Every structure is written in structure tokens, then in C-alpha cells.
Amino acid sequence: MYIRRAIILVIDACGVGALPDAAAYDDVGAATVPHCAAAVGGLDLPNCRRLGLGNIVPIAGVPPVAAPAAAFGKMAEQSAGKDSTAGHWEIAGLITPVPFPTYPHGFPPSLVREFELQAGVRTIGNIPASGTAIIEQFGEEHLRSGAVILYTSADSVWQMAAHEERYPLAEQYRYCEAARELLTGEHAVARVIARPFIGSPGRFVRTAGRRDFSLPPGGPTLLDLMVAAGRPTYAVGKIWDLFAARGITSHVKPEGNAAGMEATIELVRGDRDHGLIFTNLVDFDQAWGHRRDPANFALALEDFDRRLGALLDALREDDMLIITADHGCDPTLARHTDHTREYVPLLAYGRRVKAGVNLGARATFADVGATVAELFRLPGSLAGNSFAGEVGLR
């Protein structure tokens, strides 16, 4: 059996239970998808249920099935931290043993001053904050003074918010490029993020002009190996940003989960052979997880499941679909609003994939990258252990 095309679909932040080391991250008891299901009295996910999601962990409304259509399991993260960048790199076969720097008390004043000198702009804020709360707190002052709003979070991010009428997007991106150039060595944050907004005080709204300026991966990834072997790679959503555009031959950045699924389905239906489609659906994380909204998180899962049916129907005989996540973001956890250190689901499906195989608890997300690399006979070395043989694809 062989596969001509692989689709990796990352349902961002959809963890399925705390990792053994969750206490080190203040995440004991986290379980994003199961807790969302419990919060609403059960989820209606017929497609995920058919694949075997409920066979991985108990989920209200998604009971296990006797004959799952997919191979199923869960994966632990070996990379340090619980960052989106490290999670996606690990899925693609690169483990990050040293965590990216974070700034729970804001950035060092000397670093901020150096940025202001290099970029030629003043900043206000410099605190950890929610992206919506920070523009309400400092938006009016920003419009009055012209200072750009600087903030961070529990993730390794340097974020800058500015009003699009005060600073056009091109100028905001230039400030981010200056920050990205500065933030190296001990201050090499995973991502510098432009967070533009519009509106007036009390009615500020973030726009679709967000752009991430990521560190390039610190070693080869599945994407690099694919491109080196002459195989196309298609990135949907923030994959382009998280890999700093490396190893990607084509990309689209639709806004929101629904558009991301539609773009993925269109790619699958297209005449594209021998390649990789790598999609991230970010709304679970940024719209519902961080905002601690289990009800809308649950609705988003059900909407995803409806659209998943169309994706499954579009798959060809020699396609393999892998559904997983990059971390958790349990919206029921009251202690903080950060990502949560969790196992992620693993569902591998295709007409040539042996159905119903229990892949168990994998030691690393990198098993996904190792599997795809083996199926495409890619030269080079990635972390992880392939499960291709377990699902009848060797």
C-alpha cells in the first residue's frame, strides 16, 4: 500500500487530557475537549465519533465505537513549553528541548528602549494581557500619543497593536520586522505578532491584518524534506507563519475555521499529487480557548465536525488524513487563560489506512512527521517513530 498525498489537519488547542508533567505548567486536570463536552451536556460530533475520537478518551456525547473508521491514539509533547510554534514544529518532526523565552512581567526596559531607537516609534503597555483587553485599556492613549501598544502573554510572543488609521499595515509590519531582527539570543521569542485594530474607544475591533513573524525552525522539518525531494507543500492558515515560510511551496491564509476548512477541501479536490497539505484551524485557540468560553468552543467543534464530512468525502483512494492538535487551551480551567499542557488526539484515516488500529499513547507529536516522511520515502532524519507499518502502509 502506498500514499500519494497526506493531509495534516491541526485543530488548534484541542487537547484531550493533562500530560504527566502538567503540574510544572500549572495545568493539572486540564482536558480541553472532554471539559468542553461536559460543560454543554455532550457534543454532537458524528464524523469524529465515526473516526474514533471517543475511543481515545471519554467525551460526553461522543461514545467509543466498536469499529472506528480511523486508526486512533493520543500523543505527548516532548518539546519544552506549550507554545503553538513548538507544537507545530514537533508535529513536523523537530523537537524543541529548550523553551522559548517568556516575559510574565513584561519585557526588560533596556530591550524596549533599544527597539524604540531602532524602529523609531514609542511604545506603551509592556504588560502581559489579553489582546482585546489591551486595546480597550490603551487604545485611546495610543490614538492620542501615537505610541504603539506593546504586550505579551504566557506564550513566547512580542505583540504590537496599532490602529490601522493611525499606522497603515505596511508600517505596522515594518515595526514587527525591526523587532524580529532585534529579538535574538536570549530574547529569541517564538513569534513577533502585528495585531492591528480599527474603531473608536469602547468600540475597538481587531482586524484580519494580523501577521506573525516567527523564528525559523532550528533544524530540518518534514516541510523541508518534502521540498528538498521535489514534493509540493501547501500551507493553510498560520502554518506559513509558524514555519517562517520555510519548506512551503504554496500557501493561503483564510480567516477563521470555516474558511480554513473550505480552503483545505478545495485543495483536496484539486489535481494535486504526491504532496502535503498542512492546515491549522486557529479559532478554537484564539477565539474560544483563551477567552475561556466553553460553550462557543463546543459549538465550534460541532461546526468543524459538519465540515469534516465534506473533507472526508473529498479524499481520494491514495490520500491519508491525519487529525491532531498542537497543545490544549482548556476554557474551563479557572487558574489562568493560557495554553494547557495536554495530550493531543491522533486520528489517521484513508481508504488504504488500516481502520480501527489503536495507536496508543505516542511519546511525541513527531511521530506524525516521521510517518509522513516514511510514506514518501524522504531522505533525511526527523525525530519520532513512524506508525506507517501499524496502519498497514509499509
Distance between first and last Cα of the chain: 7
Residues 152-188 pLDDT 10s: 988 899 999 999 999 999 999 999 999 999 999 999 9
**Beta carbons of 345 and 53 less than 8 angstroms apart:** yes
| 109, burial (CB in 10 Å: exposed 0-12, middle 13-18, buried 19+) | exposed
CATH 3.30.70.1250 domain range(s) in the chain: 109-214
Around 262, how many Cα atoms within 13 Å sit in the side-chain half-sphere?
8
Q: What are phi and psi of 32, to 5 degrees?
A: -55, -60
What pLDDT sits at residue 229?
95
Ranges in the chain, pLDDT < 50? none
What pLDDT sits at residue 149?
98
Q: How far is CA 145 from CA 121, 135, 138, 173, in A?
A: 11, 14, 10, 19
What pLDDT sits at residue 334?
86
CATH 3.40.720.10 domain range(s) in the chain: 5-100+215-391
Exposure string for 121-140, b = 16+ CB within 10 A, e = fewer: bebbbbbbbebbebbebbbe
What long-range pairs does 98-104 form, CB within 8 A, spacing at least 24?
99/156, 100/156, 100/188, 100/189, 100/190, 100/215, 101/156, 101/186, 101/187, 101/188, 101/189, 102/152, 102/154, 102/155, 102/156, 103/128, 103/152, 104/128, 104/154
DSSP state of 328: B
Q: Which of 84, 366, 384 has the alpha carbon at shortest distance from 215?
A: 84
CATH annotation of 109-214 = 3.30.70.1250
**Beta carbons of 364 and 95 less than 8 angstroms apart:** yes
- Helix ranges (H only) for the chain are 32-39, 46-51, 84-91, 109-119, 131-145, 169-182, 222-228, 239-242, 257-269, 283, 294-314, 367-375
Exposure string for 172-191, b = 16+ CB within 10 A, e = fewer: bbbbbebbbebbeeebebbb
The domain over range 5-100+215-391 is classified in CATH as 3.40.720.10: yes
Q: Which of 59, 82, 93, 97 has the alpha carbon at shortest distance from 12?
A: 82
What pLDDT sits at residue 235?
97
What pLDDT sits at residue 274?
82
What pLDDT sits at residue 195?
96
What pLDDT sits at residue 130?
85
Indicate the residue type of 58. P
Quick check: helix, strand or coil at residue 36? helix
What pLDDT sits at residue 1?
56
